A and B are shown apart, each in its own frame.
Chain A
Amino acid sequence: MRLGRTATILLLLTPGIGLIVFFIGAVIYIAIAQSFGYYNLLGESGYSLEFWETLTGRKAYARSVRYSLYVGFWSAILSVALAYPLALWLRKPFTGSLTVSAILKAPLLVHGIVAAFLFLNVISFHGILNQFMVWTGIFDEPRRLQNDDNAIGLLFLQVWKNMPFALLLLTGAVQAISDDVLHAAQDLGAGAWARFRKVIAPLSVSAMQAALIIIFIGALADFTFQTTIGPTNRQSLAQYMTFFKERGRWNDAAVVGVTLMALSLVGAIVLAAAARLIFRGRLR
């Protein structure tokens, strides 16, 4: 009877969840299989560690992993760090708060590529930023700001694009904390920072984790921003992957793809655990 019921439930779920599981599973399976030499579109198919061995031995691969992790982590952390004070500021409604929060969320409606082009215009050699800096005398002459080596411009855009998303999640979580609870902390001697550290952050840690993970995974695999405004001497993993694809080296591309997925998983776990450990003092 129980077995029958379970079977029925599974059967009923198959058209929906089954399809999702099938497609995700298929993609992951193909990527992993390809990285181990199967589904070789050019040469001979068969199990081989060759692609992993040669690629992981390359400097470009290691650099690309490091660079993507750098972009992923900083995008996630800076977006959340910026969204918190804004979420707290918008916790209680005030005149104009609706307008402010609408404006802050506007980047959600602007596509990354459009924003990147606008940004390029602003920071270009003869763009308004350079003109302004020269006019104020901070710069003696226009400087080359685009495609900077440390990816500052890219991180700026990542944060600009992702912060509203973090804000959306955090506002909800922060609004759920009652005034009296914050008052109690304050009454017991907790200043603004202690209140954040000991009450607000621990009580909104789930939203924080969600924001960190989703932004991290997105920024880790960034392609659009990287190709328009990223440093020209660095390659993100996504860029590296397309580089192989364009040369028809599907197995190498698959190695990078699997790396990307593995880093997403590990990075997400690390970020989530760190957030919980730092702000909640325990993992459960």
Chain B
Amino acid sequence: MPAISIIDVVMRFDRFTAVDHVSLDVEEGEFVTLLGPSGCGKTTLLKLVSGFLQPTEGRIEIEGRNVTGVPPEARNTAMCFQSYALFPHLTVAENIAFGLRQKRLPAAERRDRLADVTGQVDLGDHLPKLPNQLSGGQQQRVALGRALAVRPYVILFDEPLSNLDAKLREQVRYEIRKITRDFGLTAIYVTHDQSEALAMSDRIFVMNGGRLEQSGAPEEIYRHPRTRFVADFIGSANVLDAEVVGEIGPNLWQVTTALGPLAVSSETGPAARRIPVAWRPETARDGAAAHNTVEAVVRHRSFQGHFTDLIVDAGTTTQRLQLPRSAAREGAQITFSIAPEDIAFLEPDA
């Protein structure tokens, strides 16, 4: 039995459809991410699960029980709000303990959990402060701690790390995963940071315009994006419109694109004659190869540490590639190649 079942849910605000026929299951103890651009309906979906919104159509089940009409206070969920939503009149300690008091936990247990959580979100020095005496990142950690402290059956995170610096983000990310694992919490985590989604999730649900575009394990989503949107949104792949010429070998297809003729490796083959194909910037290889050798001119170069990001003009289009060590300057001529197995057919556009 899934911990959460979202069954064909539609959410309309007047005539605007914020969530459009979404169905998904989350298993008990699973950590899933909702990933998508701003305004795609992520927060709305969380509010449907926590009970602040009632779906226009469809239903939601938690622990196999239909929760339609069950008010938020009676659902065993806790949400970490995107806007923090801290209680301005309560201290950090009181904010974190709010849910514990509501649950009528004994004082000793409350103290223990408060101590645990403040360590996990690194707020030890700030317990007696009021929210308006904290920095943005500290407030965000209070919001996170307040939700984590209650250890609900389902925990919902709405971009809980957006305001933290890179180092702290990584640390808190680790703590979140540890807590949810240690206590077997089922978690839905909303983010529009794809690296966060890839790093943390058991499964990723990619949303776009209120719809579910694709779901799967991080590797699967990354390696086999199904649509143009997913390919572009995750890892910013180069997407090209291709026209299939024919099969030129076992599982090897010849296509023409704005980049020139390309060989694409695919077991299933293209679903249509005109079809988008995608390849990832970091799969580009320096120099020529047996297949798909491309001549290009560097338009823009930015050094990123362990790789160099290049925007190049090639064929009649502009592509992005990342090479581990490239001395190419802007304006220089370079040769690179893409292995046929690094290029994938996407679903034909609707």
Contact = CB atoms under 8 A, between A and B. Distances in A.
Interface string B118-139: 0000000000000000000000
Nearest to B82: A180
B71 to A, nearest CB: 7
Given A180-B81, A187-B78, A189-B73, A203 B99 contact: no
B150 interface: yes
Most buried by B among A180, A186, A187, A203: A187
A136 interface: no
B89 A280 contact: yes
A55 interface: no
B79 interface: yes
B103 interface: yes
Contacts of A265: none
The SS class assigned to the B binding surface is: loop
Contacts, number: 58
The SS class assigned to the A binding surface is: helix
Nearest to B47: A183
A202 B73 contact: no
Interface residues of B, number: 22
Given A183-B52, A183-B81, A184-B81, A191 B87 contact: no
B72 interface: yes
Contacts of B64: none
Contacts of A184: 79, 81, 85-87, 146
A202 B90 CA distance: 9
A187 B50 contact: yes
Contacts of B50: 187
A187 B79 contact: yes
Contacts of A198: 87, 98
A18 B85 CA distance: 45
A60 interface: no
Nearest to B95: A184
A62 interface: no
Contacts of A188: 73, 78, 98-99, 102, 146, 150
Most buried by B among A178, A183, A280: A183
A181 B86 contact: yes
A187 B73 CA distance: 5
Q: Report, as a range, how many residues of chain A touch the other chain.
A: 10 to 19
Most buried by B among A186, A202, A280: A186
A145 interface: no
B89 A187 contact: no
Contacts of B87: 181, 184-185, 198-199
Contact of B73 (A178, A181, A186, A199): A186
A180 B85 contact: yes
A190 interface: yes
B30 to A, nearest CB: 21
A194 interface: yes
B107 to A, nearest CB: 16
B73 A190 contact: yes
Interface in A161-205: 178, 180-181, 183-191, 194, 198-199, 202-203
A187 B83 contact: no
Contacts of A183: 52, 72, 79, 81, 85
A190 B89 CA distance: 16
A178 B85 CA distance: 8
B182 to A, nearest CB: 21
B293 interface: no
A190 B81 contact: no
A187 B153 CA distance: 13
Interface string A202-221: 11000000000000000000
A183 to B, nearest CB: 5
Contacts of B287: none
Most buried by A among B77, B79, B146: B79
B143 to A, nearest CB: 8
Contact of A202 (B78, B89, B102): B89
A188 B102 CA distance: 7
B88 interface: yes
B108 to A, nearest CB: 20
Most buried by B among A184, A186, A191: A184
B186 to A, nearest CB: 16
B61 to A, nearest CB: 19
B86 A187 contact: no
A186 B71 contact: yes
A186 B81 CA distance: 12
Interface of A: 178, 180-181, 183-191, 194, 198-199, 202-203, 280
9 contacts: A184-B81, A184-B87, A185-B98, A187-B72, A188-B102, A188-B150, A189-B150, A190-B102, A198-B87
Given A180-B85, A183-B79, A188-B98, 15 more contacts: A184-B79, A184-B87, A184-B146, A186-B71, A186-B72, A186-B73, A187-B50, A187-B73, A187-B77, A188-B78, A188-B99, A189-B73, A198-B98, A203-B88, A203-B89
10 closest residue pairs by CB, A with B: A188-B99, A189-B102, A180-B85, A184-B85, A186-B72, A202-B89, A180-B83, A181-B85, A186-B73, A187-B79
